Amino acid sequence: MTPNQPRRRALAHTAVAFAALALTAGCGSSPTSPGAGTQPASGAASPGASAAAGTPATPGASASGGGELTYSGAESGTAKFTSSACTVAKGELYSFGAPADDNAPPPKVGGVAGGGWSLTFGTAAHPGGFVKTRAAGVTAKQNNGVWTVTFVNAALTATYSVDSPPLTVNGSLTCGTVAVLP
> Rounded CA gap, 64 and 71, in Å?
22
Domain ranges of the chain: 5-50+62-181
More confident residue, 12 or 167: 167
pLDDT given for residue 25 in this prediction = 38
The answer to whether residue 172 scores a pLDDT higher than 60 is: yes
> Rounded CA gap, 13 and 6, in Å?
10
More confident residue, 21 or 165: 165
Q: Determine which of 1-15, 60-74, 133-147, 153-167 has the lowest per-residue pLDDT on average.
A: 1-15
The answer to whether residue 139 scores a pLDDT higher than 50 is: yes
pLDDT digits (tens, 9 = 90+) for 23-64: 433 344 333 333 344 444 433 333 333 222 222 222 233 468
Mean pLDDT, residues 121-128: 92
The answer to whether residue 140 scores a pLDDT higher than 80 is: yes
Asked if residues 70 and 171 have their Cβ atoms less than 8 Å apart, the reply is yes
Asked if residues 70 and 170 have their Cβ atoms less than 8 Å apart, the reply is yes
pTM of the entire structure? 0.69
pLDDT given for residue 26 in this prediction = 39
